Amino acid sequence: MDAGRRGELAGRLDAFAGAYTFASRLLLQAPDLALLGRIGHPGLLDEWPMLDATSREGARLLVAGAGEDPVSLARDHQRLFIGPGALLAPPYESVYRSREGLLFEEQTLQVRDAYRTFGLVAPALNREPDDHIGLELHFLAQVCLRSLDALDAGDDDAFDATLAAHQAFLGDHLLVWGPTCLEKITEHARTQYYRGVAMLTAGLLDQARETFAS
């Protein structure tokens, strides 16, 4: 692989690793004051690597939402993802794809196996489902970083394997159900912050589809 091609791939993988990591954090937990302060800092999201209209609107809403009441944001997170009561935007793959719409179904175990292939496990194994959208995004970030390591080492076999794993996980999992979950967040969120989270992540998945899953 020539130096120009290597540099192009490295830049692309680095951008997606950072974007996946950020989106994962936004979806896994309600924001704390430190995160809201970083998001609201002027210009922070001006360098967001996804330039499509959905991503840019998501970034605008997210920055605006960083000024919303933290208690309201925590309540929105609770309503959407945790309950009590029916979840308005269940963040788990198996809810969308299993026959009965239950947790810890076949999809959860498939995702667990994908993590295990890279020596990774969900932080609350057997207590919370492995197929949370935030965990799946975090996994893709880790795969991007493994690809970067392979590039740096000049290990073409490892690079091909990690890139194929990235493509397969997108096509078999996140791109199948993630857009529906994000649509539910957009529909039911009461805050600009969570509408921004949904749109920013939707744009990210669209760009991932174009870049890796074609």
The pLDDT tens digits of the residues spanning 72-97 come to: 999 999 999 998 888 999 999 999 99
Tokens of 55: 């991503």
Are 155 and 6 in contact by the 8 Å Cβ rule? The answer is no
Tokens of 46: 């001006």
Higher pLDDT, residue 106 or 67: 67
Q: What tens digit of pLDDT does each residue of 173-207 get?
A: 999 999 999 999 999 999 999 999 999 999 999 99
- In the predicted model, is pLDDT for residue 103 greater than 80? no
Tell me the CA end-to-end span of the chain in Å, nearest whole number. 21
* Domains of the chain, residue spans: 3-212
Among 194, 166, 179, smallest CA distance to 16 is for 166
Q: What tens digit of pLDDT does each residue of 126-167 get?
A: 678 999 999 999 999 999 999 999 999 989 999 999 999 999
How many Å separate Cα 117 from the centre of its chain? Answer: 19
Higher pLDDT, residue 172 or 106: 172
Higher pLDDT, residue 9 or 67: 67
Instruction: Find all residues with CB under 8 Å of 51, minimum gap 6, and list them.
Output: none
At the fourth CATH level, which superfamily is domain 3-212? Answer: TorD-like (1.10.3480.10)
- In the predicted model, is pLDDT for residue 125 greater than 80? no
Helices (H), the chain: 3-28, 33-40, 53-65, 70-77, 93-97, 106-117, 133-153, 156-169, 175-188, 192-212
